[in-house]
Amino acid sequence: MQKVKQHAKALFMLMRPWHYFKNLLVFVPAFFGGSILESWGLALIGFLSMSLASSGIYAINDCRDAAQDRLHPEKCRRPVASGEVSQAEAAVLAGLCIAASLLLLLAVSAPGISLLPLALYIAVNILYSVLSFKNIPIVDVTIVALGFVLRVLFGGLLAGVQVSDWLLLTVMMGSYYMALGKRRNELRDAKKKTRAVLAHYSYEFLDKQMYLFLTLAVAFYSLWSVDARTAPHTVLTVPLVLLLLMRYSLVVEGESSADPIEVILHDRMLIVLAVLYAALMFALIYLQGGAAA
Single-letter amino acid, residue 203: Y
pLDDT digits (tens, 9 = 90+) for 22-44: 999 999 999 999 999 999 999 99
How far is Cα 148 from Cα 209, in angstroms, rounded to an integer?
18
pTM for the full model? 0.94
pLDDT digits (tens, 9 = 90+) for 200-248: 999 999 999 999 999 999 999 999 999 988 989 999 999 999 999 999 9
What 3-state DSSP class applies to 93?
helix
Q: Which pLDDT score is estimated for 219?
A: 98
Lowest mean pLDDT among 96-100, 109-113, 281-285: 109-113
Q: What is the mean pLDDT of the chain?
A: 93
Q: Which pLDDT score is estimated for 258?
A: 79
Q: What distance separates the 2 farthest-apart alpha carbons in the chain?
A: 61
pLDDT digits (tens, 9 = 90+) for 119-167: 999 999 999 998 889 999 999 999 999 999 999 999 999 999 999 999 9
Query: Would you give the distance in Å from CA 42 to the centre of its chain?
Result: 19
What 3-state DSSP class applies to 161?
coil
291: confidence class by pLDDT, cuts 50, 70, 90: low
